[in-house]
Chains A and B, each alone.
Chain A
Amino acid sequence: MSGSSVRLTISGVGHRYDDLPVLEEIDLVADAGRVLVLIGPSGCGKSTLLGIIGGLIVPTAGTVRMDGQVAEDCLNPLTPVFQDFALLPWRSVAGNVSLVLEGRLPRREREARVAEVLALTGLGDFAGAWPKQLSGGMRQRVGIARALAVRPACLLMDEPLSALDAQTRALLLDEFAELIERAGTTTVYVTHNLNEAVRLGHRIAVLSRRPGRVRAVLEIDRPINGRSAADPSLVAIEQQLWDMIRDDAVLAERERVIA
C-alpha cells in the first residue's frame, strides 16, 4: 500500500433539512494521504457533512470533488467507518468483512483478503465469532477491517470511538494512528473528542454551532504515529480548540434540551 493520492475538495457546501439550515458555506480540503479532523458541537452538521462527502446525502449547495489516482485494486474509493459499527449480526466476523468483497473478488482472493485484514486488525483468532460475542472495541476493529478490505482511497470515519469506553478508546486510537499512517489513506475523521483530534489530525477544522460553518482550521504538520497525548504542544492545541468551542458547546447543549 503506497498511500492514497486522492484529494477531497469541499467547495461552498451548504445543507438544510427542510427548514433547518445545518451547514453553510463549507470550504475545506482533505489533502491526499492526510487526516482531516472535523470537530464541532453536537448537532452542528458533522455527520451530515460526512454523508455529503461520501455521496450519501445530496447537499443543497456546493460540491465535493475527488481528485487523484486510486489504487488498481480499490473497490470502493469513499469508505465509511461507523460510530455504531454497522455490523450484520447474522454474519460472523469474517462474513461481515467478506460481505463487501462478494461479487467483486473471486472466492480465493476474497478469502485471502479477509484473512489479511483480520490479521492486520488483530482479529485473526476471531474470524468465526459472531458480532454479539465481541466487545465494543473488537466490533470496531471489524468495522476497520471491513473498511480496509476494499482498499479505500478515502476513509470517512464518524465518531468511530465514541461508543467505546475510555481505555478501549485509547488502545484503538493508537492502532488507528498506526494503520492510517501506514496505509497513507486520505481520511476525514469526525469527533467530539479534542484529544482524538490532536492525536490524529494533520488538519483540524472547527465547525460552529448549527448552522455549521468553518470557524477555524489548524494544522499539525507532524506524523501522527508516535504522537503522544501528553505532548505539551498537543495539549496546548487541545486547550486552544476547547477555548474556541466551549461557548458553542454550552449553547448547543441547551438547544438540545429545548428541542
Chain B
Amino acid sequence: MPDIAGPVRFRARGFAPRSIPGAAAATLLGVVALWQAGASAGVIPTLFLPPPVSIVRALYQLAISGELWLHLGASLQRLAIGWTLGTVCGIALGFAVGLSSWLRSPGMAVVSALFPIPKIALVPLFIIWFGIGEGSKVATLAFGVFFPTVINTAAGVDAVSRNLVRMGQAFGLSNAAILRKVVLPGALPAILSGFRVTTSIAIILLVAAEMIGAERGIGAFVLQAGNLYDTDNLLAGIVVLSLLGQLVAWVLGRLERALLGWR
C-alpha cells in the first residue's frame, strides 16, 4: 500500500465567479472609446457607423428641437396603453385559468393555439380592423403581451401551495380573502418576472408597429432616418430605445424589490 503524508491541499478553486467593482463601467467606456478612436482615425467609415460624439450631438439636437420628445411621447403612450391593456386582461384570464376547472382547458387551448403566432404578422390585419392610427398599434402590443401574461399568471397561481389555500379554508376565510391574501401574493413573483419578458416583447412590437405605419414614434423616426441615410439620427433613435429598455428594467427591479422583499 502506498504511503500518504503531508498537509491536505485545497482543491475547491475555480467555478466561483465574483463581480469586480467598476469592471462593467470600465468595459463599456473602453468600447465607446475604441469606437470613437477608430472613427477619428478613419478606420471605421462614419457613414455606416457614426462615432459616439456624432450620436450624442444628434441626440442633443433632437432634444432641444423638441423632436425627440414628440416621438418618445408617442411611443411611451402606445407602450403604456398597449402593455397595460394586455397585462390587465392577461392577469384576469390567467387567474381564471389557474382557478377554475371550467375555464382551464378551453382557456389554455385558445392560448396555446394563438401564442405561437408571430404577433408582427398580425399588424396588417389589425390595421384593417382598427385603422392605421393608434388602435392597431395598441392592439398589437396588447395582443403580444396578453398571451405570455396569461401563461405566467396561470403558472404562478398553480405554484401557490395547496396547503396554504387549505389553511385559509380551515380558518374559515372567505374565498375573496383567500384569493386576495393567499393566491395573489403567492402568484406575484411569477407575474412580476413575467413583466420582464412582456415589457421587452412590447418594445419590440412597438418599434415594429411604428415602422409599418406611423408618422410619430421612435420606430417611425428610426425608419425615416434610415431612408434618408441619416445614420447619426438613426443611431440616436436606437440609443433612445436602448435607454428605454434599461429604464423599464430598472423600474421593474425596483418594483420587485418593493413587493417581493419577503423572499
Contact = CB atoms under 8 A, between A and B. Distances in A.
Interface string A126-161: 000010100000000000001000100000100000
Interface in B145-176: 161, 163-164, 166-167, 169-174
Contact of B167 (A75, A86, A102): A86
Nearest to B189: A90
Given A56-B166, A84-B163, A90-B185, A130 B262 contact: yes
A178 B148 CA distance: 53
A76 B172 CA distance: 7
Contacts of B167: 80, 82, 86
Interface residues of B, number: 20
B252 interface: no
B173 A100 contact: yes
A79 B170 contact: yes
Chain B binding surface SS class: helix
B177 interface: yes
Residue among B164, B172, B260 facing the most chain A CB atoms (10 A cut-off): B172
Given A86-B163, A102-B177, A80 B185 contact: no
Interface of A: 54, 56, 75-76, 78-80, 82, 84, 86, 88-91, 99-100, 102-103, 130, 132, 146, 150, 156
30 contacts: A54-B170, A56-B166, A56-B170, A75-B172, A76-B171, A76-B172, A78-B170, A79-B170, A79-B171, A80-B167, A80-B170, A80-B171, A82-B163, A86-B163, A86-B164, A86-B166, A88-B182, A88-B185, A89-B262, A90-B188, A99-B171, A100-B171, A100-B173, A102-B177, A102-B181, A103-B174, A103-B177, A146-B171, A150-B171, A156-B170
Interface of B: 161, 163-164, 166-167, 169-174, 177, 181-182, 185-186, 188, 260, 262-263
Given A82-B167, A89-B263, A103-B177, 6 more contacts: A82-B163, A90-B186, A90-B260, A100-B171, A100-B173, A130-B262
